[in-house]
Amino acid sequence: MEIPFDPAAPMYHTAHIHDRCICICNRLLRGELSAVETYTQVIDKYTHSDADEILRQIRKDHSRSANLLSANVRDMSGEPEKNSGAWGLVATVAQGAANLFGPRSAIESLLKGEEADRDDYENALLDENVGPECKELIREDLLPAVLHHVSTLQELVIRNEHES
């Protein structure tokens, strides 16, 4: 006798949450990969800026976050994203616009990206489909790094306003 499909059954629910968690982590991973690409573009364009070392450290942090998310997805038996996909295109377009207006605009563009990353992580923490291990990774490692980036870039924007 065949058992009827019941989406309310615990096994279905658990599998759905697991798959949804992988999807959410891969979305966050694409954001991190996009951030690495965007910071690389800015650093390559403004290598002699006083913010150069700060931007390199933030890019390194995003690379570390991408590695953590990749490992997390693999731990859930998922396949981690390899590139930023459409998110990278958006970052490239935004950075191209910022490049037209100089370093200050580029820093402001990076700040907006960090704020969007912060929002993505905060939304993931509120999502019932994100498992406790993923939420711990976000709460303990990923979100604190982004919050530090927001603060650091805000200081750079303020400093640039005073220097202008």
Mean pLDDT confidence for 20-34: 94
Domain architecture of the chain: domains with CATH:
10-163 (1.20.1260.10)
Q: What is the mean pLDDT of residues 30-53?
A: 83
Q: How far apart are CA 76 and CA 162, in angstroms?
A: 48
Name which of 159, 148, 161 is nearest 57 in CA terms: 148
**Measured between alpha carbons, how far is 154 from 146 in angstroms, rounded to an integer?**
12
Q: 73-92, pLDDT tens digit by residue?
A: 999 999 999 887 655 555 56
Find the helix or strand (DSSP H, E) in which 101 lies: helix 86-101
Average pLDDT over residues 135-161: 93
Question: What is the model's pLDDT at position 93?
Answer: 53
Residues 6+ apart with CB under 8 A from 78: 22, 25, 26
What is the separation, in whole angstroms, between the first and last Cα of the chain? 77
Q: Answer with the residue of higher pLDDT: 68 or 19.
A: 68
